[in-house]
Structure 1
Amino acid sequence: MMIQINNCFAAALSLIVAVSGQSAAQKTPGKIGPLVTDLYTADPSAHVFNGKIYIYPSHDVEADVPQDDEGGHFQMRDYHVYSLDKIGGKVTDHGVALDVKDVPWADKQMWAPDAAYKNGTYLLYFPAKDKEGIFRIGVATSKSPTGPFKAEPKPIAGSYSIDPAVFTDTDGKAYMYLGGIWGGQLQRWHTGTYKKALMTDLGKGHENEPALGAKVAVMKDNMLSFGEPLRDVQILDENGKPLLASDTNRRFFEGAWMHKYNGKYYFSYSTGDTHLLCYAEGNSPYGPFTYKGVIMNPVEGWTTHHSIVEVKGKWYLFYHDSELSGKTHLRNVKVRELIRDSSGNITTINP
């Protein structure tokens, strides 16, 4: 039923845009094709290292597990790294970079990863459930951007939930953003300790409370651990008030990403169950961030996870949909140019 509702929602949005002459959305002639067609890939984290584009996605597989709100049907087991010399160029698969069987503390569900570079070492950050079924964030290292990566024996101390995204600022400091509610377990840490009973969100009676937000911490110089306890990432509305839990078209759900443009910090994220890709703007990597708008309306398959990267003076959005399979858990990675107006506002894309 959710799929039907959101397909109708996407169709309605397309109709509104068509009637209004596409004034609020990017015109994208031609069809955007998947970058990888021989495997199912999702949650693409894109980076430029030494002038080359590298993509670190999750690897979707068919595990024959029933779909649920906890994401039990997303049973990814390993990571491949892909590279291309330019946007539109040939995509090279560098094979398995890390497998769950080679991570001492991890049990299953290698979800959306990210990567970074520091002092000759490439780092792969990834979530996985430990032996007790709790999501933690791990880190693995390599001397090559394509791996193979060797995992640290334990997850990052103080880490939990999913969707790590590491942003290195112009001063060299690096920050990790993380978190996802429902299956990402962020709501279970609301009190500071893990509460298994909180299955999806904070529940009835909390709708008018500030929404759960992502977490952020500066990394230590070695990039292997946090340099401080995790902090809350706050998203404010146009009046400077925190977005509420009931504001499902604007509040954070999962899939955080950070990029910097003209001195401003752009915190982007997925609204999850409403399947919008949104962004907020701030003056510090810690925030607070003021909600600005929608980057992308719901894609085919309705799950949303992305990265934003600059390549040779242009900005690109890497994302996924389900064009190849038609199934929400078997996705494919895509890329398209990100357009801004003269004030730096991002133009909404209708995929």
Structure 2
Amino acid sequence: MHKTTIFLFVVLALASGCSNNKKSSEKSAETADTTVTESKFLNEPLVEHIFTADPSAHVFEGKIFIFPSHDIDAGIPDNDLGDQYAMRDYHVFSMEQPGGEVTDHGEVLSVDEIPWAGRQLWAPDAAHANGKYYLYFPMKDKNDVFKIGVAVSDNPEGPFTPEPEPIAGSFSMDPAVFEDEDGSYYMYFGGIWGGQLQRWNGGEYAPDGEEPAADQPALNPQIAKMDDDMLSFAETPKDVQILDENGDPLLAGDNERRFFEAAWVHKYNGTYYFSYSTGDTHKIVYATSDNPYGPFTYQGVILKPVQGWTNHHSIVEFNGKWYLFYHDTQLSGKNHLRNIKMTELTHNADGSIQTIDPMNN
């Protein structure tokens, strides 16, 4: 596999638990005026030679590996089903440390290599088990129905070889695989609107399936424990309940808090943190539980809205510090042509997470 090393130096000036990237030009003391130009963005893109989004970050082999989606400009008008997000392959990126060089390991999997593929290789994730690396990806099959597939490699940088069929019992999109401290692996997944989760509301696929009424409980993300082979589910997927402060399910009309897409789970001081995107209100929020299955109680906002419609993230610990990976549209200004970023994330003494504003307001 050809590897291209991008000498992209990402400046992470860590202040108040966040990174603050600035471009400045200073004139000498003898000059009357001093000009300082500050980016309106909190962080600068990690990758600039291609468009990337939905970054799933993991620490493998002592390095940070990022598994994002790869945006292309297919000339498709924007719509609520996300047809403009016409991704066709994946690249894997790595960095030795935050602020270091970012290496593009090239194309590791494409639509053409997946036997059951229809279209749209959306947000992936990865896991390491059994001496292998597993790349989990959502894709519409030849009937235009989202399923979740898996591809395998001996190395985190790929290339990955796809299984001939999607994971049995999988549906919708945005897989995120969490490894618990006891060695168990769980996949969290789902997304409404273009992610088709509402089409499975009755337990069976219904092409005309709709969201619940605004005063009814919101659709839940899904969880399934992975089988030891990491290629299949060990159980039928179950709902992940997200509750409000009173112990009641979040409602479908609670757009500020209800689940839309982009599930992610990390564990901190024995507590499970389930974070996700609110979609049309453009925030990354989180809920907590003492059990990987939940129920999870809503806690607050991790990331305020970015520039661009979508908001999708991951959270990883590296050398004792926590980092949030996310994307925006700084390079293109177009919703479907995004770029990945990272910033430091801080847990407060009480376990809450400090809210991050991705813009320098």
Q: TM-score, normalised by structure 1?
A: 0.91
SS at match of 2:69: strand
1:328 partner amino acid: N
Q: Does structure 1 residue 334 correspond to structure 2 residue 334?
A: no
Higher CA-based Rg: 2
- Residue of structure 2 in register with 1:143 after alignment: 154
| Cα offsets for 1:153-184 (capped at 9, x unmatched) | 00000000000000010000000000000000
Contact 1:26 1:348 in 2 (8 A): no
1:203-282 aligned at under 5 Å gives the runs 206-282=213-289
CA distance in 1, matches of 2:52, 2:279: 18
- Residue of structure 2 in register with 1:288 after alignment: 295
1:130-209 aligned at under 5 Å gives the runs 130-198=141-209, 201-202=210-211, 206-209=213-216
- Residue of structure 1 in register with 2:311 after alignment: 304
- Residue of structure 1 in register with 2:328 after alignment: 321
1:129 partner amino acid: K
- Residue of structure 1 in register with 2:63 after alignment: 52
- Residue of structure 1 in register with 2:99 after alignment: 88
- Residue of structure 1 in register with 2:114 after alignment: 103
CA distance in 2, matches of 1:305, 1:267: 13
CA distance in 1, matches of 2:143, 2:309: 30
Contact 2:19 2:344 in 1 (8 A): no
Contact 2:18 2:343 in 1 (8 A): no
SS at match of 2:65: strand
CA distance in 2, matches of 1:156, 1:29: 41
Q: Does structure 1 residue 115 correspond to structure 2 residue 126?
A: yes
Residue 302 of structure 1: how far off its partner (Å): 3.0
1:252 partner amino acid: F
CA distance in 1, matches of 2:109, 2:124: 11
The answer to which structure has the higher helix fraction is: 1
- Residue of structure 2 in register with 1:29 after alignment: 20
Q: TM-score, normalised by structure 2?
A: 0.88
What RMSD over aligned residues (CA atoms) do the two structures have, in Å?
1.0
1:1-40 aligned at under 5 Å gives the runs 28-30=19-21, 31-40=42-51
Distance 1:336 1:28, change over 3 A: closer
> Which residues of structure 1 form unaligned runs of 5+?
1-24
Contact 1:26 1:350 in 2 (8 A): no
